[in-house]
Amino acid sequence: MLSLLITLLTLRCVDAKSEDAFAQRGYYITFMRMPTYDLADWKKIVDGIHDDGGNTLLLWVAGAFRSPKFPITWRYNADHENIRQDFVRALIDHAHSKGIKVLLGFTPFGYDGVNQYSLEHTNLKAIGKDGKPVQPFGIGCWGFNLCPSKPESQRFMLEYTREMVFDFYPNADGLLIESSDYAICHCKDCGEHFFEREFEFVRRISNEIWAKKPDATIVVFPHYFSGSEVPGFGVKAAKLPFDPRWSLVFSPHSAHPEPALIKRAKSSLWWDDSPALRTPNEIRAGARRAKEIGATGYVPSLEAFTFVATEAEEGQSWLKGRRQIPLGFGWLEPGEPPYNELPMQVQRIAYREFSRNPDLPFETYKQILGRDLFGSVSTPRLIDDALNLQAILNFQRTWCQPSPLTSPERVRAMKMRGELTSQKRSDYRAALDRLKNIEQMHRESRSSGEKELHRITNWVLNLWNDKEAAPLIAPNN
């Protein structure tokens, strides 16, 4: 009997182990674009990652730590809670207490923090395809990407990164060196050699970190090694020697999988935008894709922005001067993190289940979702309504714009531009009719999950009960 029990227990352990599809699970979060959350909020966010089975946090911190050498890098972000009072080191300690490794994210020669340096050092601006200095660009943090062939750009990148890794957050587990997905430098020294120039910095900072911390995880893009066409830039990746201490990251839009490199890397991560922007079906597809390419981890985006836009993000002038709405959840106060809200629970439970087992049948996920959200009073109707509400909140949502279904302001801007067709208005009315149905169904809520479902549905419908908003989508407008 005892031996049978031991056999059964052993089988159970083997099963549990074989169920874990990935060694690295967790999320990519753009910390620098979330100025409104303090240490207490972030600890809860980290606890949530732990609840979702995560052990990895890609935390993008450039632009959001108070660099003494380069104050221009955070001046735009002076209201960020971590600029007001630095807490990321304590946050990393907290993450470690939950078994979560934290990798510090930044982009070499571009994006947040770094692109501010060229505001003061205009000679370092990268050159565009047209042979002229680049135009300002950014998401939240607007500036100019740098030319890596300029020694001053290299020096700045090294010193800024050293500050972040060695002075500020030496307890971090490594780096995410995220190559730009929007621009390179096309000057005569860069061009086809751009990624060789970028690599000079990457190689050097990696060596410095490994000298101090040999087991540090340094995640890089394949653009230094693969020799393949780099999506979007019209240049090829470099073909430099690969050090198997590096980990790699791949994504649908900026770095296509490289099977030969994946086999040699310390670890390899698949990234996509499913948890942030899409639905549970795409999360399942993302987990399956990660497995199919042989990635050791699936670490997709959980980005939620709360910065005040100073520029027309995504070309949308109506966003200028407004605070970004995290995940489009407009019922939240600026300091309230969005990750425990019901539509995000739908996504997080999907991530937890499909990143553990990408082959899990969708019906099984639905049952688990019902149990977690509604407990013993769960019904198929409730589960479908929760999935519908989540899909409506992410319907045509973009990084910076809420769904048109939850943003009369966005629909008004579409109307002003002549883009609000009768087809669109009719699609929006049909979606809102589905919501009205959900709202009526759950007026007599029996569980806290059902109350939440009703509350959020009601919030969306009330946006359109407004006398200025309603005519925007009326049939004969």
Give the footprint of Zn ion on this chain (CB under 5 A). 147, 149, 185, 187, 190
**Cα Dmax for the chain:** 79
Nearer to Zn ion by C-beta: 49 or 185? 185
CB atoms within 10 A of CB 159: 13
What six digits make up the tokens of 28?
A: 């990519």
Nearer to Zn ion by C-beta: 31 or 144? 144
Do residues 217 and 246 lie in contact, with contact meaning Cβ atoms separated by under 8 Å? no
Report which residue type is found at 94.
Answer: H
Smallest gap from residue 237 Cβ to Zn ion (A): 17
Smallest gap from residue 134 Cβ to Zn ion (A): 10
Q: What are phi and psi of 298, to 5 degrees?
A: -120, 105
Report which residue type is found at 224.
Answer: Y
Smallest gap from residue 187 Cβ to Zn ion (A): 3
What are the CA-CA distances from residue 121 to residues 118, 156, 344, 463 (Å)? 4, 11, 42, 46
Nearer to Zn ion by C-beta: 101 or 223? 223
Smallest gap from residue 117 Cβ to Zn ion (A): 15
> Distance between CA atoms of 112 and 369, rounded to whole angstroms?
36
Smallest gap from residue 194 Cβ to Zn ion (A): 7
Nearer to Zn ion by C-beta: 149 or 394? 149
Nearer to Zn ion by C-beta: 187 or 349? 187
Do residues 349 and 281 lie in contact, with contact meaning Cβ atoms separated by under 8 Å? no
Nearer to Zn ion by C-beta: 92 or 238? 238
Three-point CA angle 344, 346, 352, nearest 5°: 100
CB atoms within 10 A of CB 170: 12
3-class SS of residue 217: strand
Smallest gap from residue 48 Cβ to Zn ion (A): 41
Nearer to Zn ion by C-beta: 93 or 189? 189
Do residues 365 and 353 lie in contact, with contact meaning Cβ atoms separated by under 8 Å? yes
Smallest gap from residue 136 Cβ to Zn ion (A): 17
Do residues 48 and 42 lie in contact, with contact meaning Cβ atoms separated by under 8 Å? no
